[in-house]
Amino acid sequence: MRNRGKFETASQFLACYFHQDFSIEFEEPEAAVAQFIKDNDEARRAAVVRELRQVITECGKQGLDDFIFELGCYYNPERHRGILMRAWLEQVIAEIERSLSQ
């Protein structure tokens, strides 16, 4: 079992922006990421990127969906768009990283 506390910043991001009712607040997941970028400073955004990369690395192919759910994310990209959790997380990371280079 991975140490959930080790990913506190990623957990806060996922639980705050991809909670059970996120689809009521945001039409699409990209809108939630855009709001996160708007709401948070560069240091917080960079920390989320680091932790999400670490989650992907540590989980490998097994258990990533379950662990992301444990971190507070209720969004299921496979059900919504037919893409795997890993691919979606990489898209989220790329979008946040673009905000860091501006």
Q: Specify the pTM.
A: 0.91
Give per-residue pLDDT as tens, 79-90.
988 999 999 999
Domain with 57, as residue range(s), is 4-100
Query: DSSP label at 28?
Result: S
Predicted local distance difference test score (pLDDT) of residue 1: 44
Cβ atoms 85, 91 nearer than 8 A: no
Q: Quick one: average pLDDT of 55-82?
A: 90
Count how many domains the chain has: 1
CA-to-CA distance for 5 and 32, rounded, in angstroms? 23
Give per-residue pLDDT as tens, 7-63.
999 999 999 999 999 989 998 999 999 999 999 999 999 999 999 999 999 887 778
Predicted local distance difference test score (pLDDT) of residue 49: 98
